[in-house]
Structure 1
Amino acid sequence: MKKMIIKNMMAAASVALVMGGSLTACVDLDLSPNNAPSEGNVWNSASMAEQTIAGVYNRLYEDYTADPNKGWFDMWSSIMDIDANWTAGYHFLHANNTPTSDFGSERWWKNYYSGILRANDVITNLPTVAGISEAKKSRYVSECKFLRSWWYYRLNILYGGVPYYTEPVKSIDGAKKARSTQDEIWDYLIQDLTSCIDDPNLPNKYGADSEDYGHVTKGAAYALRGKVYMWKKEWKKAADDFEEVSKCGYKLYTNGSDAYKQLFKAANERCDEMIFSLQCINEEGFGGIKNRGYGNRCLPPDNEGKGLGWNNYVINPQFVDSYENKDGSPFNWDDIIPGYSAMSTNARQVYFLRNEINATERANAEASGADMTQYKNSGNEERIKAAYANRDPRLGFSVITPYSTFIGGIEGEALPYVMRFPYRSRGRGTQDIETDTNSKMYYLNRKFVGEGTETMTYYSEIDLPFIRYADVLLNWAEALNELNDIGGAVSKVNDVRNRAGVAPLNSNAYTTVNGKEDMHRRIMNERHWELVGEDVIYFDEIRWGTWKDLKFYTDKEGRMNGMRQVWGSPTYSYTWGGNNYWTLPIPAREIQMNPNMEQNEGWK
């Protein structure tokens, strides 16, 4: 059924919305293919008009189906980093961002406005189409208002106030609005989302077997409006909206001790936890490629006979170190290896070396600064594995840690591979995990990466969640905490922690909450651990004002954070560009085309 729905979206590409002439404004108004029907034909045909709805949803695929180096938003956050081979274009991480940068300025503006303009065309024209019931037209318009709000939500965070278009744009002159303020955009979104919520034709949620599953629901509208209220610091309204999401029938998936892991498998992608997600099939353009960008070379083979996975995105060690122990106590390296924290980062490499290294491997380790006086010829692997043995289970479900096993499918069958260093070989049986960076040891992604023969192509069928109920619960907890309902906040967080298999808050001395500020810190941590890989945290870190301190911190040796090996040695470092980096620059082409557009402070 899902494949049939997405096939309709593929067909809709040939009936894409006609937005006027061949315009060149940075909002990318030229959306129609050369063989597209005329606008009049689209809106004079009920069947073609309905296909335009799928054409709006189609824009959601842009970020996750074509290129694994898109710069998915978790690599903008403190959670992970992009491989050094792919840093070109990500100028905002190295203090040389400009209004002409694709990844750090133009891409998101172009992508999101493309979706907005398609949505506007439906919202304006669909009500006049004959042959579609009024109830269905109302629902479709509400869906497009939600999608428009989703894209404006991200634009408003990224750029800090943008032009607000609600009508089809037919000419360049029609694309010259001045920017609304960020607060004004939030108010516009509340109006639109309220309209969705008030629409009696928009259902609370869809069942897993519904032919309309994947379409926007009232629960999604409540969730997004609640997020907007969080930005406005209207905590009571946010909490009320998140409560309404639960009343719509959404809830945590809690089936089994590894429920968190199983949540992201195909069998459970339509469970009641998923509120708004990208519907994927294993076909180009409509399959998620996080499987590739987050992967490793032990995934099934590509056309050259090698594993199809690339480890373009790697997990940052500071984030891994933040995961608690199962009992809720903070993880401390010195509890595992006394004196570890006092060592230089290069010296710590010794603890991550495999057992029984050879002479060449020893020489290379010594040359890179490893303190080989601490090496155990037998038992070195076992010692470091203890650092990950008693941690929050979400760490092991989300990250491939040193000397853990990954079930790969490189031989066309499910076989175990182990993350060892230095890398030696790959083959049948229990062999080393091969990566694109074999000469170094990085924390690898496990979440969203197919195991064994689960995903045999680049294009994963696993749906990618945009909003799920755990996200809502943790936002709800934050809102309650701001309202001084710490007990209510604890309850919501504990729902998430209980599912994860970690000690609930207020269950022992380590987890005892000591006031509102402590609770806020715990909620921020919880969101990082729960939502890694879902491209949510960057937007949180901007809202909290923590992004600079978490992403651009300086270590004890005076080196700024960057892509780091598991023991902390940087491969490259970031550079903070100034307080103007809290927002992206308005694209230069948009400034040129629109005389009413003002550039963000610090980017002029």
Structure 2
Amino acid sequence: MKNKYIASIVAAAAIMSGCESLDYIPGDQMSGQTFWQTEDHARQAAVGLYAAMKADWCFGLEFTFDMCTDLADGTTPWSDISRGTAFASNSSGVQNHWQYLYELVHRSNTVIRNVANMPISQQTIDRVTGEAKFLRAMAYFRMLNCWGGVPYYDESCDINEQFANLDSPRSSADEIRQYVIDDLTDAIAKLPVSWDAADLGRATKGAAYALRGKVYLFNRQWNEAIADFEEIVYNKSNNYGYSLHPDYNELFRLYNGNHSPEMIFSIQSIDGNTAGYALNIVGYFGNKSTMRLIASNCIVPSTTLVDMYENLDGSPFNWDDLFPGFNSGGSELRRKYMSVAIDQGSTKVTDLLECDTTKVMDAYRLRDPRLCLNVITPYSHYLGTDAGSNP
């Protein structure tokens, strides 16, 4: 009986194999045989580059690098570096940044290598190649600034074939810088001055000029930097359309897809927050009213940064002018000048103690007006959400 069943199964398998062939390419996936064929495929490949760029550990948390300077402080991801307490066991941020930057490099290499032989228009090939070289340059420029010379891989490296043998020695810092400049020079030649509304946010010729100028600037190549910056400021070869935004406050309130001619290259995002006044990423700033508890992930401006804002007349700000002895008086004296009593729910001031709140507010509002637009100052009103609850 058992043999009869086995014979039936074998016979059925033989019949099926004779009339159908198996498709080894999953229906929900692309392969090298089915992809890299059309104009739309080239565009999709370019979109994948921007997705890699937006990852938190690539450029998605770009602003947090202020923590590596005296301009900001916070809990993660670079607080250990800024405080000089980083070592191998707590440096996951450094490892992640390295890994995700190389992810962008290898995605860019894959696009550059494959798009070159696609049966599509040369214009599309050039534009997509320009985008890939621009983003590869961004990745290597960041690595150059973080680590100096690093191992260099270009489009001749196929990550699928060489993953186990990525052991190139470190190139020198000068070599990496030249690779970045070469990529940006090629990107300048290939990228359009602008895109239509559907592709807004993709790399442009002006963005490549601006980034190359920054590379020159960081290397103290003043004349080259000036030439690139003046190209896009004075529209020497093309009308790039850049200008300062007329309203500084509005510049940081460009919701619902609005853009500004002051933006040269920006990470595009969609507001996923439905409970209040800010993108989820803003939860890294400020206080508990911005979607995220400040104890978990946050970055706050330093007193060094805040004190750099000048008085309205352009003179340097000095706390001693308002509160004699403030700068050298220590925490007790500063607490006397600044502290008030609040209720248990942290919602109401119950006693001013020895604090002159008007004087404290004047210390901020009688300064460069950008200060109160950038920083949550004492006794200011701030719109947010109560850690995710109703506004």
TM-score, normalised via structure 1 length: 0.52
Hey, what's the Cα distance between the residues in 2 that align with 1:67 and 1:53?
A: 17
2:159 counterpart of 1:183? no
The answer for the alignment partner of 2:357 in structure 1 is 381
Alignment of 1:161 with 2:149, yes or no, is yes
TM-superposed CA distance for 1:154, in Å, is 0.2
1:94-109 aligned within 5 A: 94-99=83-88, 101-109=90-98
Q: Is 1:274 matched with 2:263?
A: yes
- Determine if the alignment matches structure 1 residue 322 to structure 2 residue 308: yes
Matched residue, 1:37: 30
CA spacing shift, 1:187–1:160, aligned 2, 3 Å: same
Q: Distance in 2 between matches of 1:166 and 1:393?
A: 47
Equivalent-residue separation in structure 2 for 1:194 and 1:40 (angstroms): 32
Judging changes above 3 Å, is the alpha-carbon distance between structure 1 residues 63 and 235 closer, same or farther for their aligned structure 2 residues? same
Structure 2 alignment gaps of length 5 or more? 1-25
Hey, what does 1:150 align to over in structure 2? 138
Aligned to 2:320: 334
Structure with the larger RCO, 1 or 2 (CA within 8 Å, 6+ apart): 1
- State how 1:53-202 maps to structure 2 within 5 Å: 53-63=46-56, 72-83=64-75, 86=76, 90-99=79-88, 101-130=90-119, 132-167=120-155, 168-169=158-159, 170-172=161-163, 174-199=165-190, 202=191
Rounded Cα–Cα distance in structure 1 between residues aligned with 2:124 and 2:60: 35
Secondary structure, in 3 states, of the residue corresponding to 1:135?
Answer: helix
Q: Which residue of 2 aligns with 1:538?
A: none
Could you say if the C-alpha distance between residues 100 and 46 of structure 1 is closer, same or farther in structure 2, counting changes exceeding 3 Å? farther
Does structure 1 conserve the Cα–Cα contact (< 8 Å) formed by 2:308 and 2:316?
Answer: yes
Identity of aligned residues (%): 34
Give the drift of 1:389: 2.2
Amino acid at match of 1:408: G
> 1:64 deviation in Å?
7.4
Q: Determine which of 199, 208, 214 is the counterpart of 1:227.
A: 214
User: C-alpha separation between the residues in 2 aligned to 1:294 and 1:224?
Assistant: 27
Contact 1:353 1:381 in 2 (8 A): no
Distance 2:123 2:209 in 1: 20
**CA distances 1:329-350 after superposition (whole Å, capped 9, x unpaired):** 0001111112222311232111
Alpha-carbon shift at residue 104 of structure 1 (Å): 4.7
Q: Larger C-alpha radius of gyration, 1 or 2?
A: 2
CA distance in 2, matches of 1:143, 1:124: 13
Q: Distance in 1 between matches of 2:163 and 2:243?
A: 47
Q: Which AA in structure 1 matches 2:271?
A: N
Q: Distance in 1 between matches of 2:356 and 2:55?
A: 45
In structure 2, C-alpha distance between the alignment counterparts of 1:289 and 1:67, rounded to whole Å: 12
Give matches, 1:92-491, under 5 Å. Answer: 92-99=81-88, 101-130=90-119, 132-167=120-155, 168-169=158-159, 170-172=161-163, 174-199=165-190, 202-206=191-195, 210-246=197-233, 247=235, 248-255=239-246, 259-267=247-255, 269-283=258-272, 289-299=280-290, 307-308=291-292, 310=294, 312-354=298-340, 377=353, 380-410=356-386, 412=390
Aligned residues of 1:336 and 1:386 also touching (Cα < 8 A): no
SS, match of residue 266 in structure 2:
strand
1:53 is displaced (CA, Å) by 1.1
Q: Give the structure with the larger helix fraction.
A: 2
The amino acid of 1:126's aligned partner reads: V
Aligned partners of 1:252, 1:93: CA distance in 2, in Å? Answer: 34
Q: Distance in 2 between matches of 1:71 and 1:404?
A: 23
- The whole-number CA distance in structure 1 between the counterparts of 2:63 and 2:240 is 34
Q: Secondary structure at the match of 1:81?
A: strand
Root-mean-square deviation (Å): 3.1
3-state SS of paired residue (2:265): strand
Distance change (3 Å), C-alpha of 1:282 and 1:341: closer
